[in-house]
Amino acid sequence: MIRQTLHVGWQLTAATGPVPADVAGRTVPARVPGSAHLDLLAAGLITDPYLDRAEEELVWAHRTDWRYATTFEAEAARPGERVDLAFDGLDTVATIELNGRVLGRTANMHRSYRFDVREALREGANDLVVTFRSALEHAEEIEQRLGRRDHVYPHPFNMVRKMACSFGWDWGPDLQTAGIWKPVRLERWTTARIHRLRPLVTVGADGTGRVELHADIEHADPAAPRELRLTATVAGREGDVTVPAGETSAVLTLDIPGVRLWWPAGYGDQPLYELGAGLRPGDGGPALDSVHRRVGFRTVTVDTTPDETGTPFTLTVNGTPVFAKGANWIPDDHFLTRVTRERVTRRVEQALGAHMNLLRVWGGGIYETEDFYDICDERGVLVWQDFPFACASYPEEEPLWSEVGAEARENVARLSSHASLALWNGANENMWGYRDWGWPEQLRGRTWGLRYYTELLPSIVAELDPTRFYAANSPYNPGIPLDEVHPNDENHGTRHEWRVWNERDYTTYRDHIPRFCSEFGFQGPPTWATLTDWVHDEPLTPTSPSFLLHQKAEDGNGKLDRGFAPHLPAPATFEDWHWTTQLNQARAVAFGVEHFRSWWPRTTGSVVWQLNDCWPVTSWAAVDGGERPKPLWYALKHAYAPRLLTLQPRGGATVLVAVNDTAEAWTGPVRAERQAFDGTVLGTATIELDVKPRSAVPYALAESLLTPADPAQEVLVLTCDDARAVHLFREDVELAYDPAPLTAKAVAVTGGYRIDVTAASFARDVAVLADRLAPDAEVDDMLVPIPAGETHSFTVRTAARLDPEQLTGPLVLRSANALHAPAVSS
Ligand code: BMA
C-alpha cells in the first residue's frame, strides 16, 4: 500500500450564490483539511466570524457553492494495481471530478468516500476538483421532497447528514461550513487491502484478555482473488489465519493471559496494548497492508436490571459500578479542522482536573476524531457516544436511511478498538420530543426516526460491536416502550433535567431523584478576557448588540436574571452582573451535582451540560471558547471531588452526606462548628465518619448546629481533612455579610504569584479573576469559603509581569460578599 497525501496546491473559489462583490470571482489558497470560511479569513476577505457581529455579515455563505481545485503529479495505474482516491471526510454536499470526469457525489460529512481512479488517473499532472453545494439548499430540497419535520432551530438540519450545530444552536453560531474536512489521499495497492479492522476486546473471568480481530478485506481484482494470510500481534502474542481465495472477511482470536486491566480515572491505571495486523499473500511475500491500533482490556456494561425503584442505569467497569462524574462534549471549535490534538488534550485535562471520569459526545455534533478517543483512552475518560441525531424528527426514507446505515457501520467499526468508548446512544432527546413537543400532530403519520433508534442502529451495534451497550436515546427508559412510561421519567433510565434553567429555581433540582442525569445545566457568560477579546460593544451591557449575538438561548438573559434573583443581590454594574451570573451558574450546577451524588447508588450519573464551547458565547459551558475555565469549572472541581461533604435534606431534617468515591474507606472526625460571621463559635460537634469505599452515607446533625440564633449572620462549617462544607441559613440576599471582610497580599513566586487572603469575617466564594489582568493568567482554585480568622493562599500561574496591587483589587479579588458592597467598575 502506497499512500500519497493530496493536501497541497488547493485553491478555493466561491462558485455561485449571493457572494459579496469583494469575494466574487476571487480565487484564494485553500487549506486541506479545512473549510471555506477559514480560507477566506486567511486571505483577508472576511472578518473573523467570531468577532462582534461578523456572524450576521456571513449569512451569504449559507447559500453559496464552493469550488476546491488542485493539480497533483501521479503515475498512471500499472497493470494489476488498484489506485483509489480516498476522502476521510467531506463537508458535505460534494461533487468530485478528476480530470474532468465525475467520480461521484456525496451528501454525508459523517463518513468517508473512496473512488477507484484507475481509469481517470493520468500520467503526470492531474486536476482534482471538489465542488460543494450549499448544504442548506440541499436540505431544503430534501425537506420539500420528504415533507417537513420539526426541528428546534430554524434550518432543516434534520434533512442532511451534516453536524446539526453547523446550522446554529442555542450556544453556537449559524456559520454553515463547507470543505474537505479530513485528509484526502491517493492509495495504490495490489492484490488486497484491509478495508476495516474491528478488534473486539473482552476479558474472561480468569483475567485472560481476548482480542477477536475482525478484518474486512477488499480484493484488487474480485474476479481473480488470491488466498491471503492475516497476521496479528498483541502484547507479544502472535497469531495468523488463512483467508481462502475470495473470502472478504476473516476472524483471528488472540488470548492474552494475565492482562493488566484498563480503568477509568479514579479507579486505576490505563494500560494500553499495541495491536498490529498485517495482510500477506497466502504463499508468503511482502505485506500487502498493515493496520495499527491500541487496545485496552476491560469490560464495560450498563446495568439496567429493574429494582425496587424502577430501572437503573449503572455503568459497570470490570464488574465495579461507577458513578459517572461527567459532562457533555460539543465540538470544541465550530470550525472543526482547528481542533488539534493539543487542544483536545487541554480540554480532556480540564475534564480530569474537575475530577470527571466521563464525557458524553452529544448527538448534535460529530463522531469525534481519533485524537479525542486516543486521549480518552490514555487518560481514563469513559466516552458515551451519541449517534448524530438531536432535537428533531428525522425522516426514515431514502436517501437518509442508507446514509445513516453507512455512516453508523463505518463509525462503529472505526471506534471499536477504543478502550474509553463505553456505550452508544441512538439520539439526543428525540423520543422525548416525540412525546412532548407536538411532533405527532405535525407529522401526521410520517416517519420521525424511531426505526433508527430501535432497529437500524442497535442492529448495527449488535452486529459489528456486540461488546458495547446500546441506549436508544437520551433520555429514555431501557426496555420500556415509549408509550408506557415517559422517556424522561426519573425512576427509569436516563433523565435530562431542564426545568431548572428554563422555568424553575435551581433548588428544585432536589425535587427529583433521577437514576442517571445525562443532561442538566445553567448558563453563565464567558470569562472577562474571552468576552472582551471578541465583543467590543461600547458600552458593553447584557443587551448591547454584539453581546446579544453571543447569547443564543431563548430568553437567555431573562433566565439568567430570574435565576439569580432569589439568591444574589441585584448587580449595579455590568462587571457585577458578569460576576453574579457566573457565580450563580456555578452554584446552580454544583447544587445539582451534590444532590445527585448524595443519592448514590440510586442515582448513578451526573453529566453536566456542558464541558466546552465552540466559540466565545454565554452558555452552559464550564470552559469557555477561549479555553479558560469559568467559575463553574472550579465549582465542579469541588462538587466532583473524590471525597465530598454535602448538606442535604432527608426526612424533613438537614443531614450531612459524606460521599466517598475512592477505593479506601473514609474514616475520621468531621469538625462541625456553627459560627457567627465574625468567628464566634456558637455550637460545635464532632461526627465520626466511617464511609466504605464508593459509597455515600448520611449523618444526622445535632439541633444545636442547625438552629441559628441569627440566621442572617451565621454559618455552619464542617471540615474533615481537605473536605469542607459550609451551610448558610438564608439566601445571600438576606444575609448580613460583611461586604469587605478580606485583606490580601500578593507576592511573586516561580511561574506566577501567590495571594494570601485572610478573612476578618466569613467570606463566601472567594475568587481571583486573574484573566482580567493577563490573558494567560489562571488561578488554581476559586469559590473558596474562608471562615473568620482563616487565611487561604491562591496561586496564579502566568508568564506576565503583574502589579501585585492589582491582583488584590476589587474587580480581581472577588467574593459573594462584595456583591453587597457599593459598586466598583473598571
Ligand atoms: C439540551 C441539549 C442541547 C441544548 C441544551 C441547552 O437539550 O441537548 O440541545 O443546547 O439542552 O438548551
Query: pLDDT tens digit string along 123-171?
Result: 999 999 999 999 999 999 999 999 999 999 999 999 999 999 999 999 9
Residues 729 and 746 in one domain: no
Query: pLDDT tens digit string along 47-66?
Result: 999 999 999 999 999 999 99
Protein residue closest via CA to atom 8 of ligand 1: 428
**Phi–psi pair at 524, nearest 5 degrees:** -160, 155
Q: What is the pLDDT at residue 824? A: 62
State the residue range of the domain holding 428: 323-640
Task: Tell me which of 429, 490, 497, 519 is the catalytic residue.
Answer: 429
Query: pLDDT tens digit string along 280-332?
Result: 999 988 999 999 999 999 999 999 999 999 999 999 999 999 999 999 999 99
Protein residue closest via CA to atom 4 of ligand 1: 170
Q: For residue 530, how far is its CA from the centre of ligand 1 (angstroms)?
A: 22
Helix ranges (H only) for 760-812 are 804-807
CB 770 within 8 A of CB 796: yes
CATH label of the domain that carries residue 794: 2.60.40
Query: pLDDT tens digit string along 578-598?
Result: 999 999 999 999 999 999 999
Q: For residue 363, how far is its CA from the centre of ligand 1 (angstroms)?
A: 10
Q: Which atom of ligand 1 is nearest to the CA of 171?
A: 10
Residues 250 and 123 in one domain: no
Strands 358-361 vs 324-329: parallel, antiparallel or unpaired = parallel
Residues 719 and 765 in one domain: no
Asked which of 480-489, 519-528, 684-693, 775-784 is least confident by mean pLDDT, the reply is: 480-489
Residues 344 and 451 in one domain: yes
Query: pLDDT tens digit string along 26-37?
Result: 999 999 999 999
What order do you get walking across the sheet with 752-759 strand by strand? 742-749, 752-759, 791-797, 778-779
CB 590 within 8 A of CB 522: no
CB 631 within 8 A of CB 782: yes
Q: Which residues pair with 326 in a beta bridge?
A: 358, 607
Give the mutation target among 519, 520, 611, 620 for probing the ligand 1 site: most ligand atoms within 8 A of CB.
519
Q: For residue 11, how far is its CA from the centre of ligand 1 (angstroms)?
A: 37
pLDDT at 799 over 70: yes
Q: What is the pLDDT at residue 816? A: 98
Q: For residue 427, how far is its CA from the centre of ligand 1 (angstroms)?
A: 12
d(CA 170, CA 174) in angstroms, rounded, equals: 10
Q: If you search the block for the grid coordinates 460583611, which residue do you land on? A: 738
Protein residue closest via CA to atom 7 of ligand 1: 429
Let me know if residue 568 belongs to a domain.
yes
Give DSSP secondary structure letters for 456-516: IHHHHHHHH-TTSEEESSBS--TTS-TTTS-TT-TTBSEEEE-HHHHTB-GGGGGG---SE
Q: For residue 552, how far is its CA from the centre of ligand 1 (angstroms)?
A: 11
Residues 675 and 537 in one domain: no
Cell of 446: 410520517
CB 135 within 8 A of CB 434: no
Residues 387 and 466 in one domain: yes
| Burial class of residue 625, CB neighbours in 10 A (0-12, 13-18, 19+) | buried
Let me know if residue 159 belongs to a domain.
no
Q: Give the number of other Cβ atoms within 10 Å of residue 65's Cβ.
A: 18
Let me know if residue 93 belongs to a domain.
yes
Q: If you search the block for the grid coordinates 438531536, which residue do you land on? A: 390
Q: Which atom of ligand 1 is nearest to the CA of 428?
A: 8
Average pLDDT over residues 110-135: 98
Q: Residues in the chain, how many?
A: 826
Give the mutation target among 174, 425, 609 for probing the ligand 1 site: most ligand atoms within 8 A of CB.
609
d(CA 810, CA 807) in angstroms, rounded, equals: 9
Collapsed DSSP state (helix, strand, coil) of residue 734: helix
CATH label of the domain that carries residue 30: 2.60.120.260
Q: For residue 810, how far is its CA from the centre of ligand 1 (angstroms)?
A: 35
- Residue 822's pLDDT band, with cuts at 50, 70 and 90, is confident
Q: For residue 599, how far is its CA from the centre of ligand 1 (angstroms)?
A: 24
Q: Which atom of ligand 1 is nearest to the CA of 363?
A: 8
Q: Which atom of ligand 1 is nearest to the CA of 553?
A: 12
Average pLDDT over residues 251-271: 98
Q: If you search the block for the grid coordinates 482554585, which residue do you land on? A: 781
Q: Which atom of ligand 1 is nearest to the CA of 152?
A: 9
Residues 512 and 550 in one domain: yes
Collapsed DSSP state (helix, strand, coil) of residue 519: strand
d(CA 129, CA 781) in angstroms, rounded, equals: 52
Query: pLDDT tens digit string along 165-223?
Result: 999 999 999 999 999 999 999 999 999 999 999 999 999 999 999 999 999 999 999 99
Average pLDDT, the chain: 97
Let me know if residue 147 belongs to a domain.
no
Give the mutation target among 391, 551, 608 for probing the ligand 1 site: most ligand atoms within 8 A of CB.
391
Residues 712 and 749 in one domain: no
Residues 690 and 787 in one domain: no
Q: Give the number of other Cβ atoms within 10 Å of residue 572's Cβ.
A: 15
Residues 752 and 604 in one domain: no
CATH label of the domain that carries residue 239: 2.60.40.10
Let me know if residue 149 belongs to a domain.
no
Cell of 619: 452558555
Residues contacting residue 429 through CB under 8 Å, at least 6 positions apart = 390, 391, 473, 474, 475, 496
Residues contacting residue 798 through CB under 8 Å, at least 6 positions apart = 751, 752, 753, 770, 773, 774, 776, 777, 778
CB 347 within 8 A of CB 630: no
Last residue of a domain, one of 609, 640, 671: 640
Query: pLDDT tens digit string along 488-501?
Result: 999 999 999 999 99
Query: pLDDT tens digit string along 72-107?
Result: 999 999 999 999 999 999 999 999 999 999 999 999
pLDDT at 113 over 80: yes
pLDDT at 825 over 70: no
- 429 labelled catalytic: yes
**Domains contained in the chain, number:** 5
CB 514 within 8 A of CB 603: yes
pLDDT at 812 over 70: yes
Let me know if residue 261 belongs to a domain.
yes
CB 91 within 8 A of CB 109: yes
Residues contacting residue 17 through CB under 8 Å, at least 6 positions apart = 60, 61, 63, 64, 65, 134
Helix ranges (H only) for 477-622 are 499-502, 528-534, 545-549, 556-564, 574-598
Per-residue exposure over 193-202, b if at least 16 CB sit within 10 Å of its own CB, e if not: bbebbbbbbe
Residues 205 and 101 in one domain: no
Q: What is the pLDDT at residue 482? A: 87
Last residue of a domain, one of 640, 658, 674: 640
| Burial class of residue 77, CB neighbours in 10 A (0-12, 13-18, 19+) | middle
Residues 506 and 377 in one domain: yes
Higher pLDDT, 562 or 483: 562
Protein residue closest via CA to atom 12 of ligand 1: 170
Phi-psi region of 44 (alpha: psi -120 to 50; beta: other; left: phi over 0): left
Q: What is the pLDDT at residue 826? A: 56
pLDDT at 800 over 90: yes
Cell of 358: 466521563
d(CA 91, CA 161) in angstroms, rounded, equals: 9
Cell of 471: 441506549
Let me know if residue 304 belongs to a domain.
no
List residues near ligand 1 (CB under 6 A).
169-171, 364, 390-391, 428-429, 519, 609, 620
Q: For residue 626, how far is its CA from the centre of ligand 1 (angstroms)?
A: 21
Q: Which atom of ligand 1 is nearest to the CA of 362?
A: 8
pLDDT at 544 over 80: yes
Q: Which residues pair with 645 in a beta bridge?
A: 658
